[in-house]
Amino acid sequence: MNRRQFLSTTAAGLALSAARGWAVPYADQKRRRVGLIGTGWYGKCDLLRLIQIAPIEVVSLCDVDKQMVAEAADIVSARQTSKKRPRTFHDYRDMLKEKDLDLVLIATPDHWHALPMIAAVESGLDVYVQKPISVDIVEGQAMLAAARKHQRVVQVGTQRRSTPHLVEAMENFIKPGKLGKIGLVEVYCYYHMRATENPPDTDPPPYLDYDFWTGPAPMRPYNKLVHPRSWRAFMEYGNGIVGDMCIHMFDMVRWMMDLGWPTRVSSAGGTLVDKASKANITDTQTATFDYPDLKIVWEHRTWGESPDPKYPWGATFYGDKGTLKASVYGYDFTPESGTPVHRDVTYEFEQYPEDKTEKDLERHVAPAIRHHMQNFLAAIDSRGKPVADIEQGYMSTTSCILANLAMKLGRTLTWDAGDQRVAGDEEANRLLRRPYRQPWVHPEVERA
């Protein structure tokens, strides 16, 4: 990129940021008191980006892993302006009882999103909750209803909606119609991200409250794959790679193309290659989300090569006038006639040098998280809906869960957006709610 292109892109990015409520000067922002529930990998990534862009005070941290929460408290005390060490809690309910927070971030494993989020909005807090919002569809319905009843701002961590180069691709190519009629979007992930080990079960480590960690999920014997991070290998705690990775790209497509609910969802797949692993999620799966005159088709493989090494996780929009490939690393627009356009992700190391050294940070995603947090704070101030409002998160999460249910049942599911049920399929509707392990009680839809 030459200097003129750089200046043009920078100016355009700043203009987009201002238009979307992202570019509020640090010194002009309100000081907010923040808590974090779930202090693992992405909890720290989210919280430390928020510290970078807003004059917050991190008051409380909560985790059932004593080592993890203590390490997070050390990091936060070194990074936040006040240098104060946050209080630490074992039980999120005790943290919320203190009534001294303005907002809370939730970055627990997926099976622990619903109960803390609902408790937080009932406590009068605005919430940033990681994707997918829930492990079952009724959880998501209860979360959306609670947010609306208590009039809370809830941003979901589908930060593709705030990724600067993806905003640019949407504004410059999709919205103006430069792809022409889009009839197919392929979304995909070819990362070798499924756990391949089969270690023996053991006793949990003494610093982890494994019973509380398991919470409402089925109780499995403790295994080192379960905590930390590799819990995504087990369907008991999430919805596999469709729930983890498809949701990002499917949500991005819905946002870029202004789409609501798919009418039908089908899926097929299984463990076709790696049968030795303890993981019980699929290593191969396809899913089709049907819209009028449009199909969105997902594929993941955790083995073999990516068809395009430059795009191992992304989306390809096929129009009759051009093609757009988009990922977290950049985009490529190829018109039917004319000059192709390529853009790489923009890093922000000069503004935020700590990005260079922070442990486990996805450096290419850091700008997107910052913009997502800025959008969240702007929505709190305006009491409007953020770009990844809880309803949008519910739509994308539910669609991905429906894909897994369609695969399990071996048939296409027709979604009734009015009734929020699968049309004419009571067997499928019984699967919209997972059983909860006692004494935890599944949330119900709370009407306003």
Whether residue 119 contacts residue 443, with contact meaning beta carbons closer than 8 Å, is answered with: no
The mean per-residue pLDDT over the stretch 47-61 comes to 97
* Total-model pTM: 0.94
Whether residue 154 contacts residue 142, with contact meaning beta carbons closer than 8 Å, is answered with: no
Exposure on the CB side of residue 14, measured as CA atoms within 13 A: 7
pLDDT at 218: 98
Above 60 in pLDDT, residue 4? no
Between CA 251 and CA 261 the distance in angstroms is: 11
pLDDT at 26: 77
10 Å Cβ neighbour count for 430? 9
Between CA 367 and CA 345 the distance in angstroms is: 9
Distance, C-alpha 349 to centroid of its chain:
24
What confidence tier does 108 reach under pLDDT thresholds 50, 70, 90?
very high
pLDDT in tens, 322-381: 999 999 999 999 999 999 999 999 999 999 999 999 999 999 999 999 999 999 999 999
All residues at 6 or more sequence positions from 211 whose CB lies less than 8 Å from its CB, including other chains: 219
Q: Which residues pair with 104 in a beta bridge?
A: 35, 127
pLDDT in tens, 229-238: 899 999 999 9
All residues at 6 or more sequence positions from 283 whose CB lies less than 8 Å from its CB, including other chains: 194, 270, 271, 272, 273, 274, 301, 302, 303
pLDDT at 29: 80
Using a pLDDT cut of 90, give the percent of the chain over it: 92
The mean per-residue pLDDT over the stretch 425-430 comes to 98
Q: What is the mean pLDDT of the chain?
A: 94
- What amino acid is encoded at 308 in this protein? D
The mean per-residue pLDDT over the stretch 181-194 comes to 98
pLDDT in tens, 59-83: 999 999 999 999 999 999 999 999 9
Between CA 385 and CA 379 the distance in angstroms is: 6
pLDDT at 370: 98
Whether residue 248 contacts residue 365, with contact meaning beta carbons closer than 8 Å, is answered with: no
Q: Which domains can be identified in the chain, with CATH numbers?
A: 13-159 (3.40.50.720), 161-347+391-430 (3.30.360.10)
Whether residue 436 contacts residue 442, with contact meaning beta carbons closer than 8 Å, is answered with: yes
Above 70 in pLDDT, residue 321? yes
Lowest mean pLDDT among 27-31, 100-104, 235-239, 323-327: 27-31
326 exposed, middle or buried (CB, 10 Å; 0-12, 13-18, 19+)?
A: buried
What confidence tier does 23 reach under pLDDT thresholds 50, 70, 90?
low
The mean per-residue pLDDT over the stretch 419-435 comes to 98
pLDDT at 1: 39
Above 70 in pLDDT, residue 382? yes
What confidence tier does 447 reach under pLDDT thresholds 50, 70, 90?
low
Using a pLDDT cut of 70, give the percent of the chain over it: 94
Between CA 175 and CA 152 the distance in angstroms is: 30
Between CA 54 and CA 57 the distance in angstroms is: 9
pLDDT in tens, 235-254: 999 999 999 999 999 999 99
In the 3-class helix/strand/coil scheme, how is the chain assigned residue by residue?
A: CCHHHHHHHHHHHHHHHHHCCCCCCHHHCCCCEEEEECCCHHHHHHHHHHHHHCCCEEEEEECCEHHHHHHHHHHHHHHCCCCCCCEEECCHHHHHHCCCCCEEEECCCHHHCHHHHHHHHHCCCEEEECCCCCCCHHHHHHHHHHHHHCCCCEEECCHHHHCHHHHHHHHHHHCCCCCCCEEEEEEEECCCCCCCCCCCCCCCCCCECHHHHHCCCCCCCCCCCCCCCHHHHCCCCCCHHHHHHHHHHHHHHHHHHCCCCCCEEEEEEECCCCCCCCCCCCCEEEEEEEECCEEEEEEEECCCCCCCCCCCEEEEEEECCEEEEEECCEEEEEECCCCCEEEECCCCCCCCHHHHCCCCCCCCCHHHHHHHHHHHHHHHHHCCCCCCEHHHHHHHHHHHHHHHHHHHHCCCEEEECCCCEECCCHHHHHCCCCCCCCCCCCCCCCCC
Above 60 in pLDDT, residue 2? no
Residues in the chain: 448
pLDDT in tens, 275-296: 999 999 999 999 999 999 999 9
The mean per-residue pLDDT over the stretch 434-439 comes to 98
pLDDT at 243: 98
The mean per-residue pLDDT over the stretch 17-40 comes to 77
Whether residue 397 contacts residue 131, with contact meaning beta carbons closer than 8 Å, is answered with: yes
Above 50 in pLDDT, residue 7? no
10 Å Cβ neighbour count for 336? 12
- What amino acid is encoded at 97 in this protein? K
All residues at 6 or more sequence positions from 224 whose CB lies less than 8 Å from its CB, including other chains: 199, 202, 230
